[in-house]
A = this chain, B = another copy of it.
Amino acid sequence: MEKEEDDDASQAGVNKASKGGIIYGDYLQLDKIVSAQVLQSEVKGNKIHDEHLFIVTHQAYELWFKQILFELDSVRHIFISGHVRDERNMLKVNTRIHRIVMIFRLLVDQFAVLETMTALDFFDFREYLSPASGFQSLQFRLLENKIGVPDNLRVPYNRRHYRDNFKGSDSEMLLATEQEPTLLKLVEEWLERTPGLEVDGFNFWERLQINIFDGLNQEKEKIEKMPDSEDKEELMAELVKQRETFTSLFDEKRHDHLMSKGERRLSYKALQGALMIYFYREEPRFQVPFQLLTSLMDIDTLMTKWRYNHVCMVHRMIGSKAGTGGSSGYHYLRSTVSDRYKVFVDLFNLATFLVPRHWVPKLNPNVHTFPYMAECCDSSYCSSEDSD
């Protein structure tokens, strides 16, 4: 038998539990947690083993949804209260959003456990569940609302507004979250204040527009000088397309039109802020904001992967049968794996508008000091958010 290392060190402690005070099981309220598994199949006299897994898995999901809501609310509070203006609070915002990312990563993996249940195992107790349905997860709907899934882009559920499928008090809670500032809205306001956008300051947007069209014109001249050929024609055609793309970027009316259709979600000003952060992400002041934008895309991506994994599991469990709640099951879920449900879709689409580095307006550190200086405030208004 191998010799155990450091036996003495491992036994150097002093027992404290015997002195009274809270112990593990009470602290975690395990009496509630591990007594909450009541199998409907057992209640109905036909205990089916796998229902236990089904319950525990969903409870684990709900526990983590609670944690996500907790983080989300704390981040929203930092934004709403104005504490975000004190840039000391950006670490908290970033860390908590990143934590949500890590939780979603776990939740995507968690399907692997439920997938140890086969369609036949599920069939044995499925009838006892009706009309309960995952759609009824209040926390998941709240979470979607608080992040910013808009009410009017949701796929209806059996031709009814999603909220009408919840009972009174829950429905009200859902309505309330639709009316509160969403994470999307709060990020939008924050992006609109991105330093460097000021028209009387660095004036990023105008400079960028000038540089881009100068760049395109130079490209055009270069192409025109080429001898005629199929290649030349193609390059020119591509340039025309590119010019259209960038013309659309600087067309505020078109932006507003796209917003009205739900194809863009951030205001024109916020979009400018996001692009500014993209291009200047290495500036000290923009490093953490850039990470934040990346994490927001991570959340969208992981939520959509979660939905897709859910769809795959349901396909395997019930084939093309209706869901326990009466929905069309697989088809309903399939329709929610869509860019409609991507809240920060604009941050993805900005990739369409990247330009070569030498087209990006240059900062002069002697003139433009804002990228090196963080905003701090010690006023009561925007102090460090110590007591959340």
A203 within 8 A of B: no
Q: Given the known inter-chain contacts A36-B28, A52-B70, A131-B16, please indicate yes or no for A334 contacting B109, CB distance below 8 A.
A: no
CB contacts (< 8 Å) of A112 on chain B: these are 102, 105-106
For chain A, residues 80 to 97, give those with C-beta under 8 angstroms from any C-beta of chain B: 87-92, 94-95
CB contacts (< 8 Å) of A239 on chain B: these are none
CB contacts (< 8 Å) of A213 on chain B: these are none
For chain A, residues 318 to 347, give those with C-beta under 8 angstroms from any C-beta of chain B: 318-329, 331-332, 334-335, 337-340
CB contacts (< 8 Å) of A304 on chain B: these are 312
For the complex, what is the distance from the CA of A343 to the CA of B9, rounded to whole Å? 22
The answer to whether A332 and B11 touch across the interface, beta carbons within 8 angstroms, is yes
Chain A residues within 8 Å of chain B by Cβ, number: 160
Within the complex, the shortest CB–CB distance from A3 to chain B, in Å, comes to 5
- The copy count of this chain in the complex is 4
B-contact 0/1 string along A85-125, CB 8 Å cutoff: 00111111011001100110110011011011011100110
* A23, A284, A387: most-surrounded residue (chain B CB, <10 A): A284
> A119: nearest residue on chain B (CB-CB)?
B351
> A324: nearest residue on chain B (CB-CB)?
B16
A175 within 8 A of B: no
For the complex, what is the distance from the CA of A284 to the CA of B132, rounded to whole Å? 36
The answer to whether B19 and A131 touch across the interface, beta carbons within 8 angstroms, is yes
The answer to whether A301 and B320 touch across the interface, beta carbons within 8 angstroms, is no
For the complex, what is the distance from the CA of A312 to the CA of B298, rounded to whole Å? 10
For chain A, residues 296 to 325, give those with C-beta under 8 angstroms from any C-beta of chain B: 297-298, 301, 304-305, 308-309, 312, 315-325
Within the complex, the shortest CB–CB distance from A300 to chain B, in Å, comes to 9
A288 within 8 A of B: yes
Interface-lining segment among A58-66, A187-195, A218-226: A58-66
The answer to whether A56 and B66 touch across the interface, beta carbons within 8 angstroms, is yes
A55 within 8 A of B: yes
B-contact 0/1 string along A18-38, CB 8 Å cutoff: 010111111111101111111
> A12: nearest residue on chain B (CB-CB)?
B328
For the complex, what is the distance from the CA of A20 to the CA of B372, rounded to whole Å? 47
